[in-house]
């Protein structure tokens, strides 16, 4: 298959936000490197002020494919994603966590609708594929938040909080992102939907961690996500730049 497919895409930038993942980040990068995709690969790892030795591990992984950026202090996942987006050069942008909950082997499924010109934004849904069950409170919170998303934004998503997202770079052009913490997920979803893009979902596998294994998001973050969904429903958005406007799905 031609690397550009029918869509013209040639480069995939993978943004990997990392905070205190010393025990998993090397394996995550190894899995990322193993994935066979018909695109040139750029890996942008953003160390968000880790204090557990993650930065020393990352120093051994950096090469011509892997770029490591670092925050001097912990600022939150949203800040790390925004730093990665500012540095990424690819036609497509994929966000991949370093905690091994999401498997890079699912990338071909995520990329297929984009490469065939069927979508501009693709989410991997944890609720339509095989998975290790979530903690009950997280499951309930996710179902509630996706219901609110669908009501507020007239969408039919099954998994708004998924950390497996791929975007045509032009969709993100001129999209003002401001979240520093886990609210980056609802902010991205809200603003993409408000710009008129439909989100294509594909099933992915999911192996959820527990708090004792290093899971960082808590039930408190659900309130932040709810507030973000309400806030970005009414916050004015600037008009998209010309290169983004021509992609609108409406």
- Phi and psi based region of residue 109 (left: phi greater than 0; alpha: psi -120 to 50; beta: remaining): alpha
pLDDT at 212 over 50: no
Question: 36: which 2 tokens?
Answer: 């066979």
pLDDT at 213 over 50: no
Rounded (5°) CA angle 50-35-125: 75
Helix/strand/coil for 66: strand
Poorest-pLDDT segment among 89-98, 224-233, 234-243: 234-243
Q: Does 45 reside within a domain?
A: yes
Euclidean distance between CA atoms 74 and 60, whole angstroms: 21
* Domains identified in the chain, total number: 1
Q: Does 96 reside within a domain?
A: yes
Q: Does 243 reside within a domain?
A: no
pLDDT at 243 over 90: no
**Comparing C-alpha atoms, which of 118, 190, 202, 194 is closest to residue 158?**
202
Q: Does 127 reside within a domain?
A: yes
Q: What predicted TM-score, i.e. pTM, was given to this entire model?
A: 0.88
The whole-number pLDDT of residue 214 equals: 46
Domain extent, residue 71, equals 11-236
The whole-number pLDDT of residue 207 equals: 85
The whole-number pLDDT of residue 218 equals: 63
pLDDT at 38 over 90: yes
Question: 5: which 2 tokens?
Answer: 């497919």
Of how many residues is the chain composed?
A: 250
CATH number at residue 221: 3.90.550.10
What's the Cα-to-Cα distance from 68 to each of 17, 84, 167, rounded to whole Å?
Answer: 10, 10, 21
Euclidean distance between CA atoms 131 and 135, whole angstroms: 12
Instruction: Output 2 or 187, whichever has higher pLDDT.
Output: 187
The whole-number pLDDT of residue 160 equals: 93
Average pLDDT of 49-78? Answer: 96
Other Cβ atoms less than 10 A from the Cβ of 11: the count is 17
The whole-number pLDDT of residue 26 equals: 97
Q: Does 1 reside within a domain?
A: no
Q: Does 250 reside within a domain?
A: no
Poorest-pLDDT segment among 100-104, 152-156, 212-216, 222-226: 212-216
List pLDDT tens digits, range 132-181: 555 666 678 888 999 999 999 999 999 999 999 999 999 998 899 999 99
Q: Does 219 reside within a domain?
A: yes
Question: 177: which 2 tokens?
Answer: 């992102």
Q: What share of the chain has pLDDT > 70, as a percent?
A: 87
């Amino acid at each position: 298959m031609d690397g550009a497919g029918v869509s013209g895409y040639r480069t995939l930038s993978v943004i990997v936000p990392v905070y205190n993942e010393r025990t998993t980040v090397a394996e995550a990068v190894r899995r990322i490197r193993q994935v066979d995709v018909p695109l040139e690969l750029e890996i942008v790892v953003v160390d968000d002020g880790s204090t557990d030795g993650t930065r020393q591990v990352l120093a051994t992984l950096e090469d011509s494919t892997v770029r490591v950026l670092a925050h001097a202090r912990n600022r939150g996942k949203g800040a790390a994603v925004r730093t990665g987006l500012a540095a990424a050069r690819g036609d497509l942008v994929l966000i991949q966590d370093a905690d091994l909950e999401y498997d890079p082997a699912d990338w071909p499924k995520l990329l297929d609708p984009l490469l065939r010109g069927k979508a501009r934004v693709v989410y991997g849904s944890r609720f339509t594929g095989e998975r290790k069950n979530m903690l009950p409170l997280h499951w309930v919170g996710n179902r509630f938040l996706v219901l609110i998303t669908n009501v507020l934004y007239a969408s039919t998503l099954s998994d708004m909080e998924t950390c497996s997202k791929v975007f045509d770079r032009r969709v993100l052009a001129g999209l003002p992102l401001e979240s520093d913490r886990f609210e980056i997920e609802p902010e991205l979803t809200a603003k993409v939907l408000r710009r008129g893009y439909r989100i294509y979902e594909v099933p992915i596998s999911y192996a959820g961690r527990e708090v004792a294994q290093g899971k960082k998001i808590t039930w408190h973050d659900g309130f932040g996500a709810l507030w973000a969904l309400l806030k970005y429903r009414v916050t004015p958005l600037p008009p998209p730049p010309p290169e983004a406007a021509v992609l609108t799905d409406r």
